[in-house]
Amino acid sequence: MPESWRLMLPDDMAAVEAVAAVVHPGFFERTEVLTERLALYPEGCRVLERSGVVVGYLISHPWDDGAVPALDTFLHRLPEVPGTCYLHDIALLPEARRGGAGSQAVIELIDRAGRRFPSLSLVAVHGSAPFWERHGLRIEDRPELRAKLASYDENARYMRRIF
């Protein structure tokens, strides 16, 4: 089935939310919060389309190194001198997984981010750390982030790849 990543558009937001509701039922975020990220940094937001239907998305944005935005909160503005490219989320519907689409998006993100940012960072949830390790990210134990990570899930891990 033809499948490809493209830039996210404001009209995709309902489909993005529908994917988020399936993939992250425990991590509710308001539409406005996701819409704000798209407005602040459209080039960091992509959707995976299969036969014209959105089956996945990726949201990233410049951020401060070592910092993790709380879930369901507005960013308001991006840092003037970003220390990292922060991957807010990548989520594929179950039927779109394990076919290489996630890796393709991450490889392209690393290629873009590596030219503009000192690092790529994220919070790994759903036990996805091995996926990120395949892409060169490493778990970092940051005591100052423990409380925030616990608000994601008990096995959430802060991970970073330095370029």
Ligand X SMILES: CC(C)(COP(=O)(O)OP(=O)(O)OC[C@H]1O[C@@H](n2cnc3c(N)ncnc32)[C@H](O)[C@@H]1OP(=O)(O)O)[C@@H](O)C(=O)NCCC(=O)NCCS
Question: Could you list the residues that contact ligand X (CB under 6 A)?
Answer: 23, 89-92, 97-103, 122, 124-128, 130-131, 134
Closer CB to ligand X, residue 97 or residue 112? 97
Calpha distance 40→112 (Å, rounded): 17
For 110, list phi and psi in degrees, rounded to 5.
-60, -40
CB 84 within 8 A of CB 121: yes
Closer CB to ligand X, residue 78 or residue 125? 125
CA 14 to chain centre: 17
| Vertex 44: Cα angle to 52 and 105 (nearest 5) | 60
The one-character DSSP state at 118 is: S
Shortest approach of ligand X to residue 81 CB, angstroms? 25
CB 15 within 8 A of CB 32: no
Shortest approach of ligand X to residue 133 CB, angstroms? 9
Shortest approach of ligand X to residue 65 CB, angstroms? 18
Shortest approach of ligand X to residue 160 CB, angstroms? 13
Strand order across the 157-162 sheet = 3-7, 45-50, 53-63, 84-92, 119-124, 157-162, 138-139
Closer CB to ligand X, residue 71 or residue 125? 125
Closer CB to ligand X, residue 38 or residue 48? 48
Shortest approach of ligand X to residue 90 CB, angstroms? 5
Closer CB to ligand X, residue 4 or residue 103? 103
Which residues are paired to 123 by β-bridges? Answer: 158
